[in-house]
Structures are given as C-alpha cells and as structure tokens.
Amino acid sequence: MGGDLVDKSCVPCRGGIPPLSEAQAQVLLQQIPEWSLGDGGRRLSRRFDFPDFRRAMEFVCRVGELAEAEGHHPDVHFGWGWAEIVWYTHKIGGLHDNDFIMAAKTGRLS
C-alpha cells in the first residue's frame, strides 16, 4: 500500500499554507489504510507491535533515520513490544502531503 506515496520525497513546508482538510486527508488515507486520522483530521497515527522491546527500539531508530533523511519528523511513543508513530506538520498545525509520504515510508520499515 502507499506505493505512489513511497516513491515521493518530502518537500520542505515553510508554513503559511492551510493544512489538508479532513476530506483531502481521507482521500490520501485510502493509500495507507493501516493508518488512522485523529485530532479532527489533524494527525495521522499508527501503532506497530513487536515481540519484544529490542525490536520496538530498533524500529524507532529506523524511523528516526528516515525522518532525518527526509527532514520531516514524527512524534514517537514506544515501550515493550510496541511503537506508535504520529505524523503531522507542526508549522501548519495539521496534515500536509509530507505526512502521508512519511507514513507510507514508515509502514515499509516494519
């Protein structure tokens, strides 16, 4: 899933643009159905499950490396056997195409 999105790269968002509407986000969400919209359509999140802490931590490290390479960073929460990744664009207080690109790429890391 998210094949088209995975092939794209993030474009720096300098702010001053409106976030995607919830309707626009719902259309993009169809390409990454494992993810969920939250906070009134302003956040994109997914929980990943792992058999132990080490694998959860390794996944979080891979997400961090991807974020650094693309210049777009998620909120990350993790513990024994799980990680939750939340994407949104801080500068616009909501979702941007970059968040869907990164969600698709994150899904490929698990």
**In this predicted structure, what is the pLDDT of residue 107?**
93
For residues 8 and 20, give the distance between their C-alpha atoms in angstroms, rounded to a whole number. 18
pLDDT of residue 110: 84
Q: Is 18 left (phi over 0), alpha (psi -120 to 50) or beta?
A: beta
Sign, CA dihedral 35-109-66-27, equals negative
State residue 9's pLDDT score.
83
Asked if 99 and 10 touch (Cβ cutoff 8 Å), the reply is no
Residues in the chain with pLDDT < 50? 1
What's domain 42-95's superfamily in CATH? Transcriptional coactivator/pterin dehydratase (3.30.1360.20)
